Amino acid sequence: MNKILIVTVFFGLNVAAVMAQKVKLTHVEPMNWWVGMKHHQLEILLHGDAISKYQVEVQGLPILGIVKTENPNYIFVTVETEGRNSGKYPIRLLDKGKELTHFDFELKEREYSSAQRKGFSSADVIYLLMPDRFANTYPGGDTHPETVEKADRTNPNGRHGGDISGIIDHLNYIKELGATTIWTTPLLEDNEETYSYHGYAQSDLYKVDPRYGNNYYFQFLVQEAHRQGLKVIKDEVPNHWSSKHWMIKDLPTKTWKHEFPSFTRSSYRTSTQMDPYASQKDKSASEDGWFDTSMPDMNQSNPLLLNYLIQNTIWWVEFAELDGLRVDTYSYNDKDAIAKWTKAIMKEYPNLNMVGEVWLHNQAQISYWQKSSPIGAIDSYNSNLPSVMDFTLHDAISQAFKEENQGWDQGMVRVYENFVNDFLYADPNKLLVFMENHDTKRFNEYCPSFADYKMALTLIATTRGIPQIYYGSEIGMKGSKDKGDADIRQDFPGGWKTEDKHSAFYSNQDANKNLGIPGRTETEEAYFQFTKTLLNWRKNQPVIHTGKFKQFVPENNVYVYFRYDEQETIMVILNNSTKEESINLTRFQEVLKGKKIFNNVFTNEMVNVENPIMKLTPKTATIFRVN
């Protein structure tokens, strides 16, 4: 969409003169804006061969500044859009007063209440999917002339052909499951020669990868999701770009990206960002090193680049009508620059939510990156980031459910101790809680018992925070991280209608009726139905979304906690023991307050508890509404 070919104006009579005066603008970014934006002083990037020698005029918009860098192929022109009406405002390149070419820059009307859009919250459940591995509705686009890597489903690390249309076609499945929000890994163009399916090496920040569709397909996906009551989160990657990005091949300035005498990979030691004793060399090794050979690290201390990133993110939120952002490798960014970037986005959309990937294993270090963190306040740092990912809970889950016997620091005590440290966070209810994602081990691989899945899902669905599940978990999908990323990112069965032998998008009866192939297996159906029951129940439980949280020290690998408010009390019991265990309800009277009527959420069975001793079946999750 940004490969804008501008109509060229010729003057003169002979061919040599015409060729000499031919001028093209190959990129104009952003290509449009909207009226009524808080970010109204707009910096427009113009790119074309040797254009810096020409003058710039913007008809109808005051020019506040022009920057010409050492690369003659760029002009950055800042215009004032405040108070202007929607319409077209031609940007003209002039040579001695004569127009060489122009681009009709457009100011558009905003959607009503766009600035007040509400983001995702603890009332939501996020469904994370990888577009290339989810569903392929349009096989004709699997290989595209504008991109290098061709589709090859036989290659575990190759492009498999999932597309935006495939997501749209299965929104009803996500809705039936009980999720309320979709987070897709990046949909923008990734034109690397290999491994381009994951999308994290973006080669054009204003263009959806043509193998997925186009910008308007993405816009339609969000609109259709909204029609079905679902929200959409876009995966942002401000830290690094693709080595194939057109701007990396023709750098605007020498300081556009971090450069070293030879390839220097990030140390990934992002704890140096808040280490009061860290050497500058170690901090730079983490912050400035490249994430990978194909992912150059961007220098956000360059004000032109930082403003470019801010405007690009705002443009996508406005264009696609997004409900939120997930920010990749948040703690790898220049920490002062990313705070400015985050603040600018939140200023434009004060009710939006964005969650940052802060893959650390210490609550204090994770807390540092959340808005108004008491830890960040120690060195006067405020990221302005509303939500962070609870990786320490993920760590606890990945070990606790494999430990059948409770030790001093094993079993369900790991989960308990994670929440003990919530005092470190500015707002624990805005933490993203998860069992797994696209970069971690699959839970069902290392905990293959259905009973373990039910306990772990019950935990993330009922504790404080914003639960996130990963596509395929709900049907028992497995995958070994030890075998490589491709194994934890397998194709969803049934997403390739003409190739797959069964479809997990449908029950067996519906698949046979509508597709002529088997649907979910018996095991897949059991996982799906449990997930569907739990998540749909959660939708209508404000006490789970915003209620208070109280936990009790686990005993015999049994973990009991409550969510409660003035109207409701919910009791959650996770018996991770392989034996029948008993709990004495007398221990929990500070919350139960003498109540004896319990309603089992899963079975809808009413239990009148006269005997305070309650027996628990091994390896079970139980949710009681206490009446």
List average pLDDT for each run of 10 residues in the chain, which is 627 residues long: 36 36 90 98 98 97 98 98 98 96 97 95 98 96 96 97 98 98 98 97 98 98 98 98 97 95 88 92 88 94 98 98 98 97 98 98 97 95 98 97 86 97 98 97 96 98 98 97 96 95 96 93 98 98 98 97 96 96 95 91 88 93 94
Q: Which amino acid is at 461?
A: A
Q: 86: closest CA among 161, 32, 9? A: 32
Inter-residue contact 131 to 212 (CB < 8 Å): yes
Give the SS3 label for residue 64: strand
For 133, left (φ over 0), alpha (ψ -120 to 50), or beta?
Answer: alpha
Please report the pLDDT score of residue 7 as a whole number.
34
Q: Which residue has the tokens 């952003």?
A: 30
Distance CA 273, CA 476 (A): 38
DSSP symbols for 506-554: S-HHHHHHHTSS--S-HHHHHHHHHHHHHHHHHHT-HHHHH-EEEEEEE
SS percent in the chain: helix, strand, coil, step 5: 30, 25, 45
Give the SS3 label for residue 183: strand
Give the SS3 label for residue 353: strand
Inter-residue contact 200 to 185 (CB < 8 Å): yes
* Residue 17, C-beta contacts closer than 8 angstroms, at least 6 positions apart: 11
* Residue 523, C-beta contacts closer than 8 angstroms, at least 6 positions apart: 450, 476
Helices 522-539 and 450-462 pack at an angle, to 10 degrees, of 10
Distance CA 298, CA 309 (A): 10
- HSE on the CB side for 278, CA within 13 Å? 16
Distance CA 603, CA 453 (A): 18
- pTM of full prediction above 0.75: yes
Given 328, 334, 452, 500, the catalytic residue? 328
Count CB neighbours of 333 within 10 A.
Answer: 26
Q: Which residue has the tokens 């600018």?
A: 344
Q: What is the DSSP letter of 151?
A: B
Distance CA 477, CA 133 (A): 13
Q: What is the DSSP letter of 139?
A: G
Inter-residue contact 545 to 121 (CB < 8 Å): yes
Helices 303-320 and 215-227 pack at an angle, to 10 degrees, of 50
Q: 135: closest CA among 158, 167, 159? A: 167
Distance CA 87, CA 102 (A): 15
Which residues face 46 on adjacent strands? 28, 75
Distance CA 7, CA 339 (A): 40
Please report the pLDDT score of residue 14 as a whole number.
38
Inter-residue contact 358 to 371 (CB < 8 Å): no
Domains for the chain: give ranges and CATH numbers. 15-110 (2.60.40.10), 126-230+435-540 (3.20.20.80), 544-626 (2.60.40.1180)
Count CB neighbours of 285 within 10 A.
Answer: 18
**Is 104 a catalytic site residue?**
no
Please report the pLDDT score of residue 284 as a whole number.
87
* Residue 249, C-beta contacts closer than 8 angstroms, at least 6 positions apart: none
Distance CA 559, CA 621 (A): 10
Q: What is the DSSP letter of 175?
A: H
Q: 233: closest CA among 121, 134, 382, 360? A: 121
Give the SS3 label for residue 460: helix
Count CB neighbours of 584 within 10 A.
Answer: 11
* Residue 47, C-beta contacts closer than 8 angstroms, at least 6 positions apart: 25, 26, 27, 28, 29, 73, 74, 247, 250
Distance CA 531, CA 528 (A): 5
50 burial type by CB count under 10 A (0-12 exposed, 13-18 middle, 19+ buried)? exposed
**Is 403 a catalytic site residue?**
no
